[in-house]
């Protein structure tokens, strides 16, 4: 076999896979859309020499270990930064837009898709005001080392990212006005035992809470966002206690002054490419679509592998393990590794991965979103920002009998804009599942190109000359 | 879980929805529309051109079809004296002109009716369709067309280079002029289908979405209903086959005869939203270009025989991109937002297949609309409504009957006895 394996995504999964391949002498091509490797978790500072002490010593350690190992193997990794994969030609080649905005086809004998995830947008009145930002995006700002949000910051949402970002913000000198975790404390406490599957993470969680207490950052359980207010930009946030199903008790609502509101209700896998390739997918309990992989991280096309969050949200550490397993499978397929050795190595990664899966399942149980969330937007709240479709538009379509995502799209134009529904798909899927009682209401069918590309990119479009070993 | 209806329509694309809407206006019939959206359904993939003359003379969506046909014929005719080349226009028979023009004339009233009575706007826009002329071959082709349609002389207009630049400043200065069809306009195709559907629903038609027809019920030579996977049995007096590219399967189940409808793949491109740069729709010998009501520019389309495959393919997309940039140079700096492929329900003579079939009662075809389903949905709905109600038709349906084909009864009428 003369072609190199291709890896899509230079986050933890893709980097770990490239390292594992290189350790066995196999050269790979690593395509990354950003100007730096590491993905959103481990990208590191945007400028050299910036210290990221406020992110904590453990984070800095993993960050430098991953980049260090990668550096050692870089002679066998063909890294292409600022390269966007915009489409798939079946399951044999990718269509890639390079840094100069030219299109190329890149053929592969084995592929690893590690495209990660994007954040779940949760609409409520005022969510499109400048100053309202998704929690992961805000964390990315402080990780960049060059931008900091304006305080006071209010953090709402659910899950362990909330206190983590609160601590990181405080340590970087930003005022955190309060953290509002939508689920009740008892629900988290019930998962303590399962959370101990990752004892270090559990301890980290406790010490974050202690840190917040010590520095006077209020943490409210069972509270969530109701509305954001401001004239042209965010000025205040209304929060209220949530019932078990996340229905806000407006009689106890409070208005807080804030310049930044960070909203973190979890993540949705980036399945645009795996869908376009026609791979098998399924739905998670959280209602998102994810690509299916087997124990070797293979999709239903055995030469196409999946790792990281696009197969379900498990985070950076799991992504590295899955990336390594995928690399082992590719090494087996290329007859570089013998089966027994591969099995031993895989099982070692797998047992670590399973502990994360158990930990993560506990987090998923307590962060399970309440039905009240979909009632937050007002009739005139914009749901699809590209096409300005409002909640009233969606309500009307549902009343008219629309039952699936594609029909909702046609009726209301949701998802027909430039982002192809990355922002509104979560809400639309929630509403359709609620209205029909069905688990499968379809998902958006991503079209080529996954991101808009200039017509001029087609000039001199070339098929990459097969890179021979 | 048996249900009883006067009419069951199988297929909720623009044709089925139009039939449902026209039937629903009577309010005395119990009608069910059964639909399952399969990848590539043509209504949602369509461009939405109402190019009554353009399509009848082989332009618009047809121009690429015709080029493909002439290339095939050239190959077939290799070595013989007869060579059909692309300078010979591809004109459909008069019956199709009548059908298309009658349908086209219905849209202004239909637009108002659906908007006033049902609050649905399918974005009817008067645009005209200009055939952009680059060279002598194009001009010859245009002249042939005009010669073939003397009765439509008042609906065509020649634009010289200056007039074209004035009318469409964005069009390449390479163009020497254009032939414009004044009565050819556009709509939003999926909004048209949604408008018919919602109008029908408001008028009392029962909608069964995400429902698969799995079999047809018979009593002797009469079709008496359908079996579905999700919603049980539907009994009916009349079954309308509006199953688009999938119509042959249903006709076989209903009549034992496979009507010759097969999928003809077309790939389409869409730009990001733009300020209004085109006043009307354009067709060239490479592609057609239509700026829609929201500013997006739609570029189509390929004509491919790939079965039910609906993948988009790089060389074909690149070909359309080149054709579009040649016509409108400033598109080079514009973003391509998305591409998709649809399956036109093609018939061998490019005419639709409408109405009853010999020897079978309780069954009507409304299929085979090939590349003009959006345009001819209006008249098809009216025709089917009148057929169901046994009333005089606004035009002769004979050229469109399935019996025009030499049908090979694959599975003789034996299937009919499985009632």
B338 touches chain A (CB under 8 A): yes
* A448 interaction partners in chain B (CB closer than 8 Å): 312, 317, 338-339
Tell me if residue B158 falls in helix, strand or coil.
strand
Whole-angstrom distance, CA of residue B414 vs CA of residue B256: 7
**Disruptive mutation site among B39, B332, B374 for chain A (greatest number of A CBs within 10 Å):** B332
Q: What Rg, from alpha-carbon coordinates, does chain B have? A: 21
The predicted structure's pLDDT at residue B366: 98
Rounded mean pLDDT, A34-38: 92
**Domains of chain A with bracketed CATH:** 6-119+268-337 (3.50.50.60), 132-265 (3.50.50.60), 377-436 (1.10.10)
Whole-angstrom distance, CA of residue B243 vs CA of residue B216: 14
* B312 interaction partners in chain A (CB closer than 8 Å): 87, 447-448
**Disruptive mutation site among A396, A455, A458 for chain B (greatest number of B CBs within 10 Å):** A455
A437 touches chain B (CB under 8 A): no
B194/A410 touch (CB, cutoff 8 Å), yes or no: yes
Q: Which helix (H) or strand (E) holds A96?
A: strand A93-97
A339 touches chain B (CB under 8 A): no
Whole-angstrom distance, CA of residue B259 vs CA of residue B239: 15
**ipTM value for the complex:** 0.87
A447/B272 touch (CB, cutoff 8 Å), yes or no: no
Q: Are B29 and B23 in contact (CB under 8 A)?
A: yes
Q: Which residue has the tokens 């239509």?
A: B290
Question: E-strand spans in B58-183?
Answer: 129-133, 156-160, 177-181
**Which residues 6+ apart lie within 8 Å of A437 measured at CB?**
none
Band of residue A467 on the pLDDT scale cut at 50, 70, 90: very low
B403 touches chain A (CB under 8 A): no
A185 touches chain B (CB under 8 A): no
A61: which 2 tokens?
Answer: 């350690």
Q: Given this structure, which CATH class describes domain B129-182+262-346?
A: alpha beta
Confidence (pTM):
0.90
Alpha helices in B119-209 (DSSP H): 136-148, 161-167, 189-202
> Minimal Cα distance from B337: which residue of A?
A452
**Which residues 6+ apart lie within 8 Å of B249 measured at CB?**
B243, B258
According to DSSP, the β-strands at A153-157 and A260-264 are: parallel
Q: Which of B419 and A95 is assigned the larger pLDDT?
A: A95
Paired with A205 in beta bridges are none
Q: What Rg, from alpha-carbon coordinates, does chain A have? A: 22
A418/B339 touch (CB, cutoff 8 Å), yes or no: no
CATH of domain B3-44+190-260+349-417: 3.50.50.60
A454/B272 touch (CB, cutoff 8 Å), yes or no: no
Q: Are B129 and B159 in contact (CB under 8 A)?
A: no
Residue numbers of chain B with a pLDDT score lower than 50: 75, 77-84, 410-419
Mind listing the pLDDT tens digit for each residue in A442-459?
A: 999 889 999 999 999 987
Whole-angstrom distance, CA of residue B226 vs CA of residue B379: 26
Provide φ and ψ at A406, rounded to 5°. -65, -40
A99–chain B nearest CA distance, Å: 16
Q: How buried is residue B57: exposed, middle or buried, by Cβ count under 10 Å (0-12/13-18/19+)?
A: buried
Q: Which helix (H) or strand (E) holds B291?
A: strand B288-291
**Which residues 6+ apart lie within 8 Å of A385 measured at CB?**
A128, A417, A419, A423, A424
Q: Count CB neighbours of B136 within 10 A.
A: 10
B44/A406 touch (CB, cutoff 8 Å), yes or no: yes
A407 touches chain B (CB under 8 A): yes
Mind listing the pLDDT tens digit for each residue in A255-273?
A: 999 999 999 999 999 999 9
> Minimal Cα distance from B325: which residue of A?
A455
Q: Are B188 and B129 in contact (CB under 8 A)?
A: no
**Which residues 6+ apart lie within 8 Å of A118 measured at CB?**
A267, A268, A270, A422
B345: which 2 tokens?
Answer: 């329900």
Q: Are A93 and A105 in contact (CB under 8 A)?
A: yes
A4, pLDDT greater than 50: yes
According to DSSP, the β-strands at A236-241 and A223-229 are: antiparallel
Mind listing the pLDDT tens digit for each residue in A127-166?
A: 999 999 999 999 988 888 778 899 899 999 999 999 999 9
B321 touches chain A (CB under 8 A): yes
Q: How far is CA A100 from the centre of its chain?
A: 27
Check residue A74 and report its DSSP letter: G
Angle at B326 between CA B320 and CA B332, to 5 degrees: 80
B318/A448 touch (CB, cutoff 8 Å), yes or no: no
Q: Where in chain B is the domain with CATH 3.50.50.60?
A: 3-44+190-260+349-417
A318: which 2 tokens?
Answer: 């799991």
B311/A400 touch (CB, cutoff 8 Å), yes or no: no
The predicted structure's pLDDT at residue B79: 42
- Report chain B's terminal Cα–Cα distance, integer Å: 17
Interface A-B, measured as beta-carbon pairs within 8 A, has a size of 75
B313–chain A nearest CA distance, Å: 7
* B339 interaction partners in chain A (CB closer than 8 Å): 447-449
The predicted structure's pLDDT at residue B72: 55
A452/B335 touch (CB, cutoff 8 Å), yes or no: yes
**Disruptive mutation site among B172, B337, B374 for chain A (greatest number of A CBs within 10 Å):** B337
Q: Are B111 and B123 in contact (CB under 8 A)?
A: no
Q: Among residues 442-461 of chain A, which lie with CB inside 8 Å of chain B?
A: 445, 447-449, 452-456, 458-459, 461
Provide φ and ψ at B184, rounded to 5°. -95, 120
Rounded mean pLDDT, A342-365: 95
* A96 interaction partners in chain B (CB closer than 8 Å): none
Whole-angstrom distance, CA of residue A416 vs CA of residue A393: 14
B172 touches chain A (CB under 8 A): no
Q: Among residues 217-246 of chain B, which lie with CB inside 8 Å of chain A?
A: none
A458/B333 touch (CB, cutoff 8 Å), yes or no: no
> Minimal Cα distance from B269: which residue of A?
A448
Angle at B34 between CA B32 and CA B39, to 5 degrees: 160
The predicted structure's pLDDT at residue A151: 86
B117–chain A nearest CA distance, Å: 15
Length of chain B: 419
A392 touches chain B (CB under 8 A): no
Q: Where in chain B is the domain with CATH 3.30.9.10?
A: 129-182+262-346
Quick one: CA dihedral B176, B182, B188, B193, positive or negative? Answer: negative
A455–chain B nearest CA distance, Å: 5
A134: which 2 tokens?
Answer: 């998704």
When mean pLDDT is compared across A220-234, A290-304, B74-88, B157-171, the lowest value belongs to B74-88
Tell me if residue A90 falls in helix, strand or coil.
coil
B340-to-A276, A310, B73, B272 alpha-carbon distances in Å: 11, 23, 28, 14
A335: which 2 tokens?
Answer: 């007859």
């Amino acid at each position: 076999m003369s072609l190199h394996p291709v890896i899509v995504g230079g986050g933890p999964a893709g980097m770990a896979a490239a390292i594992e391949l290189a350790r066995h002498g196999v050269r790979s091509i690593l395509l990354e859309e950003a100007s730096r490797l590491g993905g959103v978790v481990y990208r590191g500072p945007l400028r050299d020499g910036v210290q990221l002490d406020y992110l904590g010593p453990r984070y800095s350690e993993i960050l430098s270990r991953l980049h260090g190992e990668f550096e050692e193997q870089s002679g066998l990794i063909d890294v292409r930064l600022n390269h966007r994969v915009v489409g798939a030609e079946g399951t044999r080649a990718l269509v890639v837009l390079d840094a100069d905005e030219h299109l190329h086809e890149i053929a592969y004998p084995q592929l690893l898709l590690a495209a990660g995830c994007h954040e779940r947008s949760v609409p409520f009145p005022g969510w499109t005001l400048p100053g309202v930002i998704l929690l992961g995006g805000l964390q990315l700002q402080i990780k960049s080392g060059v931008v900091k949000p304006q305080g006071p910051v209010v953090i709402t949402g659910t899950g362990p990212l909330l206190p983590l970002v609160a601590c990181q913000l405080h340590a970087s000198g930003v005022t955190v006005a309060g953290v509002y975790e939508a689920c009740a404390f008892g629900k988290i406490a019930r998962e303590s035992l399962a959370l101990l599957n990752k004892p270090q993470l559990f301890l980290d969680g406790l010490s974050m809470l202690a840190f917040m207490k010590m520095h006077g950052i209020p943490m409210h359980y069972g509270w969530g966002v109701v509305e954001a207010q401001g004239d042209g930009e965010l000025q205040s946030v209304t929060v209220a206690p949530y019932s078990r199903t996340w229905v806000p008790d407006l009689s106890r609502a409070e208005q807080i002054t804030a310049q930044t509101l960070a909203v973190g209700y979890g993540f949705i896998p980036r399945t645009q490419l795996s869908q376009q390739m026609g791979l098998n997918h399924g739905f998670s309990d959280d209602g998102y679509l994810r690509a299916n992989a087997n124990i070797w991280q293979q999709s239903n096309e055995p030469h196409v592998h999946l790792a990281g969050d696009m197969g379900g949200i498990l985070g950076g550490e799991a992504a590295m393990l899955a990336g390594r397993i995928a690399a082992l499978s590719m090494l087996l397929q290329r007859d570089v590794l013998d089966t027994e050795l591969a099995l031993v190595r895989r099982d070692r990664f797998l047992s670590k991965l399973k502990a994360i899966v158990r930990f993560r399942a506990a987090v998923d149980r307590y962060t399970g979103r309440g039905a009240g969330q979909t009632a937050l937007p007002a009739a005139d709240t914009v749901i699809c920002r590209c096409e300005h479709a409002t909640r009233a538009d969606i309500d009307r379509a549902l009343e008219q009998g629309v039952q699936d995502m594609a029909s909702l799209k046609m009726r209301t134009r949701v998802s027909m804009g430039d982002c192809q529904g990355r922002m509104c798909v979560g809400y639309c899927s929630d509403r359709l599942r609620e209205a029909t009682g069905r688990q499968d209401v379809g998902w958006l069918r991503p079209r080529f190109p996954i991101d808009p590309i200039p017509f001029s990119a087609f000039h001199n479009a070339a098929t990459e000359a097969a890179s021979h070993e | 879980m048996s249900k009883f209806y006067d009419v069951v329509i199988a297929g909720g694309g623009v044709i089925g929805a139009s039939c449902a809407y026209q039937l629903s206006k009577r309010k005395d019939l119990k009608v069910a529309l059964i639909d399952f959206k399969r990848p590539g359904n043509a209504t949602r993939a369509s461009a939405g051109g109402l190019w009554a003359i353009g399509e009848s003379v082989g332009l618009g969506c047809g121009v690429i079809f015709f080029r493909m046909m002439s290339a095939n014929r050239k190959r077939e005719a290799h070595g013989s004296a007869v060579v059909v080349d692309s300078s010979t226009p591809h004109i459909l028979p008069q019956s199709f002109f009548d059908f298309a023009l009658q349908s086209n004339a219905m849209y202004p009233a239909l637009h108002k009716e659906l908007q006033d009575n049902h609050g649905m706007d399918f974005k009817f826009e008067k645009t005209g369709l200009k055939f952009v002329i680059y060279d002598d071959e194009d001009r010859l082709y245009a002249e042939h067309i005009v010669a073939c349609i003397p009765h439509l002389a008042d609906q065509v207009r020649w634009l010289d280079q200056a007039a074209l630049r004035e009318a469409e400043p964005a069009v390449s200065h390479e163009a020497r002029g254009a032939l414009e069809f004044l009565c050819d306009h556009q709509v939003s195709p999926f909004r048209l289908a949604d408008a018919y559907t919602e109008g029908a629903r408001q008028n009392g038609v029962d909608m069964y979405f995400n429902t698969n027809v799995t079999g047809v019920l018979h009593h002797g030579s009469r079709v008496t209903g359908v079996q579905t996977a999700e919603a049980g049995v539907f009994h009916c007096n009349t079954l309308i086959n509006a199953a688009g590219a999938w119509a042959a399967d249903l006709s076989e189940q209903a009549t034992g005869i496979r009507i010759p409808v097969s999928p003809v793949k077309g790939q389409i491109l869409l730009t990001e939203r733009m300020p209004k740069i085109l006043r009307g729709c354009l067709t060239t010998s490479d592609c057609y270009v239509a700026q829609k009501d929201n500013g997006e520019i739609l570029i189509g389309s390929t004509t491919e025989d790939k079965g039910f495959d609906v993948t988009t393919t790089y060389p074909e997309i690149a070909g359309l991109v080149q054709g579009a940039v040649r016509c409108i140079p400033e598109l080079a700096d514009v973003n391509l937002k998305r591409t998709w492929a649809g399956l036109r329900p093609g018939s061998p003579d490019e005419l639709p297949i409408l109405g009853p079939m010999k020897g079978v009662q309780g069954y009507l075809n409304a299929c085979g609309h090939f590349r003009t389903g959006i345009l001819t949905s209006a008249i098809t709905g009216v025709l089917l409504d009148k057929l169901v109600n046994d009333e005089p038709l606004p035009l002769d349906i004979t050229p469109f009957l399935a019996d025009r084909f030499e049908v090979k009864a694959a599975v003789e009428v034996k299937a009919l006895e499985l009632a």
